[in-house]
Each structure stands twice: as structure tokens, then as C-alpha cells.
Homo-oligomer: A and B are copies of this chain.
Amino acid sequence: MRAAYITETGPAEKIQVDTLPDPIPQAQEVLVRVTAAAVNPIDTYIRGGLVAMELPLPLVVGCDLAGVVEAVGPEASRFRVGDRVWGSNQGLLGRQGSFAELAAVDEQWLYPTPDGVEDETVAATALVGITAHLGLVQEANLQPNETIVVSGGGGAIGSTVIQMARALDAHVVATTGSEESMAYCQTLGAEKTINYRSENLLAQVVEQVPEGADLWWETSRNVDLDLAIGALGLGGRLILMAGRDARPEFPVGLFYVKCCKLLGFAMFQASAAIQRKAAEAINDWLVKGKLKPTIDRVVPLEETPAMHRLQEENTLSGARTLRGKIVVKV
């Protein structure tokens, strides 16, 4: 099969797009003929060796995939040959990745693709959608009519969180970095938007949410805790899921006197059962049109190294040249 893989960790140039032996599905694995896969920042961290994890080598890169069941392992029972499926959480924790013509994936990490929803759509929704659901539902238990501030609403996670919070009937305020991105966040469902480059940002947030936010979702790798906690109301929650090397100052008094909660999570730590619950809700919202991933571009598998560079320029260097997900068509 054709695959994008590495034989050692390192920069994007380490990715080769070439032939590897076809995998044979073992035990509860399902062999998926991959049609679409999406790039996520974690793909680049794993490829770069920044995440301490067991890696089989050669390692096919990538977490997210969509495709059609080609064969099933001897103990697999959830899917049949010909079923359309999607999934995430591959290419890490010792598992092979998704950027290949074929991927042998444990059935616990696969979900049915609903009729009428395209493979590129589910591939682009996978990791960001499950992450948004884990945060909003599992971690923060967001309730209808609560107010959430999405810090960095224009990014891949932020834009998904905006849509999903609206699907959960919450009020959404988004902060983002440009007039154009503010308009984009509004099309996603944000009722109020704030340019985070404004002076007196906290005052602006407080003006928009005078009673204090119930939830602040931080997507940036450099959270300003005085801002985020300052914007919360009594009992407000703050979600952190990015910024591995960040060490911001933590305003202890502001936090505990308002009985705030700080919720950290990493999607890959969630159990398969919990991720499946997220996937079921995502499928429902995709069918109803409440969730629509923004896809920046669709490219062939051969462009994977260039796409890792593009993702890194945006995630790490703030290039702002991406609006939505990079999808690879296999």
C-alpha cells in the first residue's frame, strides 16, 4: 500500500510517501480502505518526537481517518465489509496511523459514517469533534443557556467548539484575532465576538458577559489566566487542553474566592467507551447540519510532508495561513 510514514522522528522532511506492506487485521481489528485523513497538530508533535510515546517504526503518521471496511479481523464484530466508517486516536500510544491506503484499526476506535455525510467531512471532524465533545459534555457538563467564551474561536478546535456549544443550546462569545475571523465565528454561531488584539481585553469581555462566563475554553498555547479566570463568574469553569510548555502565572485568590474549576484533559487519554459516546453525538449533529467542519484544502497523500509544515507554521508560529482543516485524499 501507499503510505506516509517515518522511520525515525524528526522534522516534516522525515515523512516518506512510499510503499509499505498491507496490514492484516488481527483480533478485533478492522481493515479500512482509507479515503480521507485529516492533519492535526498532535500528528506533527508525534512525528517530531515531542510527545514521549511508544512508536512502532516505520510509523504511518496521522490520527483521523474515514473510509470503507475492506476486511475484518477474526474477533471483530461491530462492522462488516463495505461499511463506511470513521475514527480518530490512531498513530499514537503504539498504534499505527491513518495516512495510508489501508489502516488496521481496532474496532473500538471506529464509528459508522452516516448516510449523506461525506468521508472528507467525517475525517475533518474526527479529532476536533471528539475533543470538543469531551470538553463540553464530559468535562464541563455545559448546560443550555450557560455562557461559554471560546478563546481562539477561529481555529480548528475553536470553530468546532463554537458550533457544538450552540448545538448544546449555550450562549457563545468568541475571541479571535481579526475582523475577518470575527465574521467567520459569527457564521459558526457565535452571538458575540471580540478581537483579542484589543486593548483592555478583560474589560471588553466583562462588557459582553457582565455576569461572568460559566465556561472559558482556552485553545491558545499561551493562556492568560488573569484574563480567563477574571472573565469567569461564580463557579465558572476553565478548560485547558493545549500549551505543553506554557507556565503562566496563576492568580490563586481570584480563582478560589469565585469557586472556579480548572479542567485539563487530553483527548487520547479518554477511554474508547467515552469517545464512542462523543462520536454518536457528532454523527447526529453532522446529519442535522449542526456541525460542519471548515476544510481549508484537500490534497493528495504525496503532499503530507508539506502539509505537516503548513500545520506547524500555523500551530507553532502563528502564520494564520490556515482557515480550517487540511484533508488528505488517499
Binding site for B on A (CB under 8 A): 223, 225, 234, 240-253, 255-266, 269
CB within 8 Å for A264 and B269 given contacts A250-B247, A252-B246: no
CB neighbours of A242 from chain B (8 A): 252, 256
Q: How far is B253's CA from A241's CA once the two chains are assembled, in angstroms?
A: 8
B261→A262 contact, CB < 8 A: yes
B250→A248 contact, CB < 8 A: yes
CB neighbours of A266 from chain B (8 A): 256-257, 259
CB within 8 Å for A250 and B249 given contacts A260-B264, A269-B234: yes
A263→B261 contact, CB < 8 A: yes
**Minimum C-beta distance from A202 to chain B (A):** 16
Name A226's closest neighbour in chain B (CB-CB): B247
Cross-chain contact of A258 among B249, B255, B264 (Cβ < 8 A) = B264
Seed contacts A242-B256, A260-B264; 15 additional CB < 8 Å A-B pairs: A241-B256, A243-B252, A243-B256, A244-B252, A244-B257, A246-B253, A247-B251, A247-B252, A250-B250, A252-B264, A255-B264, A257-B266, A261-B261, A261-B263, A262-B262
CB neighbours of A248 from chain B (8 A): 249-250, 252
**Minimum C-beta distance from A63 to chain B (A):** 16
Q: How many copies does the complex hold?
A: 2
B256→A265 contact, CB < 8 A: yes
CB neighbours of A241 from chain B (8 A): 256
Q: How far is B243's CA from A24's CA once the two chains are assembled, in angstroms?
A: 57
Name A265's closest neighbour in chain B (CB-CB): B259
CB neighbours of A243 from chain B (8 A): 252-253, 256
Name A251's closest neighbour in chain B (CB-CB): B247
Q: How far is B265's CA from A258's CA once the two chains are assembled, in angstroms?
A: 7
CB neighbours of A246 from chain B (8 A): 250, 252-253
The 8 closest A-B pairs by CB, nearest first: A256-B264, A244-B253, A262-B262, A250-B250, A246-B252, A243-B252, A255-B264, A247-B249
- Name the residue in A225, A234, A247, A264 with the highest tally of chain B Cβ atoms < 10 Å from its Cβ: A264
Name A269's closest neighbour in chain B (CB-CB): B259
Name A246's closest neighbour in chain B (CB-CB): B252
Name A221's closest neighbour in chain B (CB-CB): B252
Q: How far is B80's CA from A224's CA once the two chains are assembled, in angstroms?
A: 53
Q: How far is B249's CA from A250's CA once the two chains are assembled, in angstroms?
A: 6
Q: How far is B244's CA from A25's CA once the two chains are assembled, in angstroms?
A: 57
B253→A259 contact, CB < 8 A: no
A245→B250 contact, CB < 8 A: no
**Minimum C-beta distance from A215 to chain B (A):** 14
**Minimum C-beta distance from A112 to chain B (A):** 28
Q: Can you list 15 A-B contacts with CB-CB less than 8 angstroms, sorted by A residue number?
A: A225-B250, A234-B269, A241-B256, A243-B252, A243-B253, A244-B252, A244-B257, A246-B250, A246-B252, A249-B250, A256-B265, A256-B266, A258-B264, A259-B266, A261-B264
**Minimum C-beta distance from A84 to chain B (A):** 31
Q: How far is B257's CA from A241's CA once the two chains are assembled, in angstroms?
A: 8
